[in-house]
Chains A and B, each alone.
Chain A
Amino acid sequence: MSRTAVEIAAAVASGAASAVSILEEHLARIDEREAEIHAFNTVLTDEARAQAAEIDRQVAAGHDVGPLAGVPIALKDNLCTRGIPTTCSSRMLEGWRPPYNATVVERLAEAGAVLVGKTNLDEFAMGSSTENSAFGPTRNPHDLSRVPGGSSGGSAAAVAAGFSAVALGSDTGGSIRQPAALCGVVGMKPTYGAVSRYGLVAFASSLDQVGPFSRDVADSALLYELISGHDPRDSTSIPATLPSVRGHLDRGVEGLRVGLIRELLGETLDGFEPEVLAQTRAAADTLAAAGAIVDEVSVPSTIYGLSAYYLIAPAEASSNLARYDGVRYGHREEGGANTAAMMRASRTAGFGPEVKRRIMLGTYGLSAGYHDAFYGKAQRVRTLIIDDFAKAYENFDVLLSPTSPCVAFPFGAKSDPLTMYLNDVATIPSNLSGQPSISVPFGTGAHGLPVGVQVLAPLLGEPVMYQVAAQIERAAKEPLLQETLLKEGRS
């Protein structure tokens, strides 16, 4: 497998490797496997070659080339890229080219990253398997008969398959962390407001956050530092200097207090695979072995997160997606008797079934007479979850749970929407609370498929979150230790 972003940037900046040669390695892998994986909606071969050549010219001229010089990157296709199609994997936006870049895209470009393509997703980021893409599903590089997770399945698969060194996704209820877990890569959702949402096509504005995919924790930390920070174009962006995280990676976990979330250990809720739970406990054991104080902690309201989420997110989505009416851009069905008929026909044809389902759910939940019983109550549950987490963090520095209850599942296995929604149970609470969390690969589960362990931290707790994630990663890279612990711990 290819080098990490940190290694590539160092090699390119020093002249040890050319950006063009690095890019060609990645393009070769795309050539070889993209047809079967379908990670991308758009591959930008020519643009990427031109960009890489420019980086090499800069290096040759002795210019400063930035911390991501020559690093091939993929972007989820709901991040706006100037002049480049941004589809959200929806017929509704097929062919739409934004006249501007998302703030995160600007920041990556300034850092010298090379954009190789726009990745597939569940339509408008609504889903957990990338099966809801209007352009066909993405396949899991570890097993082509299985989903890569979602909604950022294309970004997760691209990094897992070595199509790009790193990628960006968006996470509204787990859409970065869950596919990261299912594809065996690192995926991180920052504190709400740490990363600008300007140019991220909105799904649920109070929950959406942009975050990185990478093959290791160090790359994740680097990407996070580069894309985070105040943006005056996003009113919900935190107007403060954020703490650096990369200095925390090598600090170890001696004395840190780690809480295993009891409600997410398979006893309260069904559907958790035993192997996933075993790996989660094993990860906790490695932390204990490294000097952390590990204990179980109850965060009682987490189990209501799913219900609250599936009222709040669709409500916001029903409003956010109203603008796709066929009037100004996007798909239009001609021939309606009047404007209303044209809008109805365009939306009927332009949106897929899951998007329609959520728009209807959200519209209903906000309607007069139901507003308080549904949307209002969900917001109160949200407050409850925030309070519960605050209580837990009085005694713990970070919390730990499985990222997903199961490893990658076969296509069509969760065709019932409610079964699919249950897949987000461990990831949703962090979106509702606005707190950061990261999924780190830790061993394998059923069928030898990757398992991800989730580290949760309080608001702006990215430094300690990365500190713990790095320790888990170190342990995961020592297979002997891991096996020993698994045997000892479970016997």
Chain B
Amino acid sequence: MTIPEREPQNLPDGWEMVIGLEVHAELATHTKMFSPAPNHFGAAPNTNVHPVCLGLPGTLPVVNAKAVELSIRVGLALNCTVQRCVFARKNYFYPDMPKDYQISQYDQPLNADGWLELPSGYRVCVERAHMEEDTGKSTHVGVSGRIHDAGYSLVDYNRAGVPLLEIVSRPDIRGPEEAKAYVAELQSILIAVGASDGKFEEGSLRVDANVSVRPTGSTELRTRCEIKNVNSLRSIGRAIQYEAIRHVDLYTAGEAPIQETRHWDEEGGRTRPGRSKEEAEDYRYFADPDLVPIDPSPEWIDEIRAALPALPRERRQALVDLGGRGEAVTVTVERRLDTLVREAVALGADAERALIHAANNLAVEGADRLDSARFAALVTMETSGQLTSTQAKQVLASMVATGRHPAELAAEAGFEAMDTGELEGLLDGIIAARPDEWQRFVEGEAKLQGMFTGQIMKATGGKADGKVIAQLLAAKKQA
């Protein structure tokens, strides 16, 4: 096995980053973790509620079996040991938490000791992936929207009790790009196994980053800060980079960071202190007496394992086996277009062209619903010269929009292969109209190639193949 290439450190010489990530994923269940209330995003405030998730006196939690199943799917996909687990109460007062304790898992999580392999081949150890319930959502109404100067606060309990899986990595990550790759890969896995919709923008995926730095080559773990509120891949990279530099600056100045929670300020591009350690809560964890331990049977685990779909890593490998390389492979799998490509290739389409389309031209809604036979037909029309690459791209867009056959769409758009003789005649006319420019082009002014290409395109209404034009210009120049 080759040693994977690691990210170069964006830090002053002699320092390296030590990063561990806690990813909260909302599970894609129909109902909440312990309550029959519906679990879906975007409902009117306080409508997805039930006495149980409102924590009304006398109510009791009952575990959602689907949430357990989805959590086991993720655990298996992350190569974890799936084990007997116990729910524990994490006690602290907060208005958006109806019971003023959160049901989570503490010393006995469902999934433990796994790993996630990045596209680079590097494996990040996963310490645990445990189940818990989400809190409600507070809106602070006041001058800045922050709690300190709020006139009053509104609480929406729709999110209270939504099932979460918290996936905790070991501090194995060494840079912002690696952190982004980890989260992106985890997101793909969550979506692939159907555990979560993985949408940052709807809060289905939320990341806390534990960041510290140390002298390169050292194995110590220095004081870390937990950065909360990092809610996009881009922010994760920026927040980590900012925080690591802050630590190095402190150490360089003879100071040291204090262990604290910090918040990422997206606009300011910086982290700000949140709760400090002095105010840190004592959560008084204890096993929740309202719930019984879950001990998944080996049969159940095997059943879930057998039903797992191919994981992103395996799917990337399948594309590599077709001759795909690099970014195109990663992007195609991320967009879940790999099945489309593989089926089209099986039907005779050229693998390279198919991958290029998937990676570059299908970043649109509905692309994953393309019919693979029609996609294969399009790729073949292009490679056989019936369509230019520009035309193929246009037809592909129409196919996504209408679902129709590429031959029909090409005919309607008036796309047909142009005769080289016809093009040559057009070019002669253009040269005759611009003798000076042509002379300069022949003498080596290469940038004029674009002007001549543009003129031919204009004359043909965009139907000419750029490659053929280039060949024609080269031949004419030599003549």
Taken together as a complex, chains A and B put the C-alpha atoms of A328 and B156 apart, in Å, by 11
Count chain A residues whose beta carbon lies closer than 8 angstroms to a beta carbon of B: 44
A235 touches B63 (CB 8 A): yes
Hey, what's the 0/1 contact readout for B35-57 against A, CB within 8 Å counting as 1? Answer: 00000000000000001001111
Contact status of A322 and B99, CB under 8 A, knowing A234-B60, A340-B93: yes
Q: Is B122 an interface residue (CB 8 A)?
A: no
Q: Does A96 contact B (CB under 8 A)?
A: yes
Instruction: Give the interface segment out of A98-106, A398-406, A477-485.
Output: A98-106
Q: How far is the CB of B249 from chain A (nearest CB, A)?
A: 33
Within the assembled complex, what's the spacing in Å between the Cα atoms of A79 and B58?
8
Roughly how many angstroms separate A102 CA and B59 CA in the complex, as a whole number?
A: 9
A204 and B58 alpha carbons, distance in the complex (Å): 12
Residues of chain B contacted by A315 (CB below 8 angstroms): 286
B343 within 8 A of A: no
Contact of A366 with B54 in the complex, beta carbons under 8 Å = no
Within A359-408, which residues are at the interface with B (CB < 8 Å)? 363, 366-368, 371, 375
Q: Residue A444 at the B interface, CB < 8 A?
A: no
Cβ contact within 8 Å between B290 and A366: no
Q: Do residues A366 and B99 form an inter-chain contact, with CB atoms below 8 A?
A: no
Rounded to whole Å, the gap between the CB of A119 and the closest CB of chain B is 16
A184 and B353 alpha carbons, distance in the complex (Å): 90
Interface: A108 (CB within 8 A):
no
Residue A323 CB within 8 A of the other chain? yes
Chain A residues whose CB sits within 8 angstroms of the CB of B403 once the complex forms: none
- Is the Cβ of A100 less than 8 Å from the Cβ of B51? yes
Say whether B57 contacts A319, CB under 8 Å: no
Residue interface mask B271-299, A partner, CB < 8 A = 1: 00000000000101010011110000000
B84 to chain A, nearest CB (A): 15
Known: A99-B51, A315-B286, A339-B153. A198 touches B59 (CB 8 A): yes
Main secondary structure of the interface of B (DSSP, over half): loop
Question: Does B462 touch A at the CB level, under 8 Å?
Answer: no
**Using Cβ atoms and an 8 Å threshold, which residues of chain A touch B91?**
318-319, 322, 366
Please, which residues of chain A bring their CB within 8 A of the CB of B56? 98-100, 329
Docked Cα-Cα span, A175 to B55, in Å, equals 25
A445 to B101, CA, bound (A): 46
A357 at the interface (CB under 8 A from B): no
B55: which A residues are within 8 A, CB to CB? 323, 328
In angstroms, Cα B100 to Cα A322, docked, is 6
Report the minimal beta-carbon distance from A200 to chain B, rounded to whole angstroms.
Answer: 6
Say whether A56 faces chain B, with CB atoms less than 8 Å apart. no
Residues 280 to 330 of chain B near chain A (Cβ within 8 Å): 282, 284, 286, 289-292
What number of B residues sit within 8 Å (CB to CB) of A?
Answer: 28
* Distance between Cα atoms of A328 and B54 in the complex (Å): 9
Residues in A whose Cβ lies below 8 Å from that of B290: 202, 205, 235-236
Task: From the candidates A234, A235, A325, name the one contacting B100 in the complex (CB within 8 A).
Answer: A325
**A63 at the A/B interface (Cβ < 8 Å)?**
no
Are A198's CB and B58's CB within 8 A? yes
Say yes or no: is B155 at the interface (Cβ < 8 Å to chain A): yes
A316 within 8 A of B: yes
Which of A93, A339, A343, A366 lies in contact with B286, CB distance below 8 A?
Answer: A366
Interface residue A327 (Cβ < 8 Å from any Cβ of B): yes
Contact between A319 and B98 (Cβ–Cβ < 8 Å)? no
Q: How far is the CA of A253 from the CA of B55 in the complex (A)?
A: 46
Q: Does B95 contact A (CB under 8 A)?
A: yes
Annotate A335-350 by CB proximity to B: 1 below 8 A, 0 otherwise. Answer: 0000110010000000
Minimum CB distance partner of B62 in chain A: A235
Give chain A interface residues in 302-332, CB to chain B under 8 Å: 315-316, 318-319, 322-323, 325, 327-329
Beta-carbon contacts under 8 Å, B446-477 to A:
none
**A199 within 8 Å of B (CB atoms):** yes
Chain A: CB-nearest residue to B100:
A322
Query: Which residues of chain B are within 8 angstroms of A80 by Cβ–Cβ distance?
Result: 57-58
Mask of A231-257 contacts with B, CB within 8 angstroms, 1/0? 011111000000000000000000000
Q: Is the CB of A98 within 8 A of B291?
A: no
B48-103 residues at the A interface, CB under 8 angstroms: 51, 54-63, 89, 91, 93, 95, 98-101
A363 to chain B, nearest CB (A): 7
State in angstroms the CA–CA spacing of A187 and B284 once bound together.
35
**Distance to closest chain B CB from A88 (angstroms):** 8
CB<8 Å pairs between A and B, sample of 21: A78-B58, A80-B57, A86-B57, A100-B56, A200-B58, A201-B57, A202-B58, A205-B289, A233-B60, A233-B62, A236-B291, A318-B91, A319-B89, A322-B91, A323-B55, A323-B99, A325-B100, A327-B95, A329-B56, A366-B286, A371-B284
**Interfacial residues, chain A to chain B (CB-CB below 8 A):** 78-80, 86, 88, 93, 96, 98-100, 102, 197-202, 204-206, 232-236, 315-316, 318-319, 322-323, 325, 327-329, 339-340, 343, 363, 366-368, 371, 375
